[in-house]
Amino acid sequence: MVSAHLARRDAGFTLIEVVITLLVLSVIAISFASSIQFSARLMGRSEIELHAAQFLESEAERLRSLSLDSLVTGSRSEGWGQAGWQVADSTTFVQIVLTTQYGTATAGTVADSVTIVRVR
């Protein structure tokens, strides 16, 4: 009688063992899915920050390439980026304060600022 009871018990998993295993696997799967979603959001934000830095650099280079006499306060938009600059002119140098915003409402916006000084 004892051996028949042990043989039946070793034949497979009980319902409670299956339910607990499924519960543990579900918790692991949900945790994994959450970390993947967080990573995707972080990558999207990093991409926006990279494009914002590139946009700031391209605008700064564009302003550096202009002649000193043609530098005036202004603004412009390109794609998801907006740039504005203020020019302060003196007898010995020209100071340009460049401010950019890049991004979208859904992906987030990155704002940067840089000061450029050009000697006459």
Helix H, strand E, coil C: the string for 57-110 is HHHHHHHHHCCHHHCCCEEEEECCEEEEEEEEECCCEEEEEEEEEEEECCCEEE
**31 CA to centre of own chain:** 22
State the Cα–Cα distance between residues 64 and 54, nearest whole angstrom.
Answer: 15
CA distance between the termini of the chain: 105
Q: Spell out the domain ranges in the chain.
A: 2-119
Read off the pLDDT of residues 20-71 as tens digits, 9 standing for 90 and up: 999 999 999 999 999 999 998 888 888 899 999 999 999 999 999 999 989 9
Calculate mean pLDDT across residues 82-106. Answer: 93
Rounded-to-10 torsion of CA 35, 39, 42, 47: -170
Q: pTM value?
A: 0.69
Strand, helix or coil for residue 114: strand
Q: Are 61 and 67 in contact (CB under 8 A)?
A: no
pLDDT category at 1 given cuts 50, 70, 90 is low
| For range 81-95, the mean pLDDT | 94
Residue 12 DSSP code: S
Contact 117, 98 (CB under 8 A): no
